[in-house]
Structure 1
Amino acid sequence: MDKLNLRRELNAARSALSPEQLRANAIKVRETLLEQPWVQMAGLVACYWSTGSEPDTHGLVFALWKHGATVILPVLREDDDLDWAVYDGPGTLAPGRFGIMEPVDTRRGVDAIRTAALVIVPALAVDRRTGVRLGRGGGSYDRALARVGPNVPTVALLHDGELIDDVPAEPHDRRIRYAMTPSGLTSLM
């Protein structure tokens, strides 16, 4: 299946999830991820503020911040690349482009992700055999992931059923090291 049709299928499946299922999924993902020693030790975490039916990151971001991690969240630039700014608590976000909540803190630049000890990204699906991530199609996270060092854990948050076989890959697609679903954490490399 091509990327466009796969995205349509995955978005339709996400739209069918109930609010109760989305909440239950968020709790399972957050609790399992926070149990990982490499998550607990990460001093600087690049994450994202979820929207719609994406696996919810709001509680995860807050928990990381309360634990003492510096959490940077993306700020979508006009060229669709990702700038980064520090999350400093629930009252420090404002709607950005497309209504996505972004930190109001000073922008740290596109290269801020280079210093992250852990990178958590959105995905519609991840290929369980190759680690290829399917995003929404803008390429923003592929550009950001290209700046991440080879030893930095990268985690895509997914709903069950989104860790699949045969995600179409293109040369610019970046691979992910871990897929996190409500059913558990899967190492892909």
Structure 2
Amino acid sequence: GIAQGVSGLCLFSPSDSCQLTIDTNTVHTHLKLSDNNKKVTRVEEVQQQLPDNPERTNWFYSVLGSEGFNSGTHSWDVEVGDSTYWDLGVLAESVQRKGELWSRLWRIEFFEGKYSACSPSAPLTVLSVKKTLQRIRVNLNWNRRKLSFSDPDTNTHIHTFRNTFTEKMFPYIRTREEVNVLPLTVSVSVE
């Protein structure tokens, strides 16, 4: 596969989907960008001297996609590989970026060997995932108010949130490991 030998999280989009890029203004101060903003690495000891702009999150180790969506269907794939801790989902534009983000965040997570789903209106729900996932497909159908997660390697559904999105939603990633945005050269069919 294209991500063999890469540790951490790797992002890429199918050619007929959105191009997921990281918004440099949202990068947490314990994360460092490199490789033309395609690689995000956690910085444990020294916080980056980044401007405290309103878009930047100060909660956990998170970044947002540079483009938000308020209509249409958008998909992106995330290579999670052997990562031991990550969250993937969408965050509402209106959320206050300083402090906790739970009030407008829909996500699945992998933590302590378990997959879970969480949204503003539902408690953390453990998901019954049969195998260790290597890639996750995130599919936001804004018009139908659906956010779905699946395993693109096996075409297996993981979880779907149904909500009444009324505002722009941004791709959300939280990790304690490494994130690599891959070039748009992967051909994956989206159904």
Query: TM-score when scaled to structure 2?
Result: 0.29
Larger % of strand: which? 2
Q: Which has the higher contact order (CA 8 A, sep 6+)?
A: 2
So what's the TM-score if we normalise by structure 1? 0.29
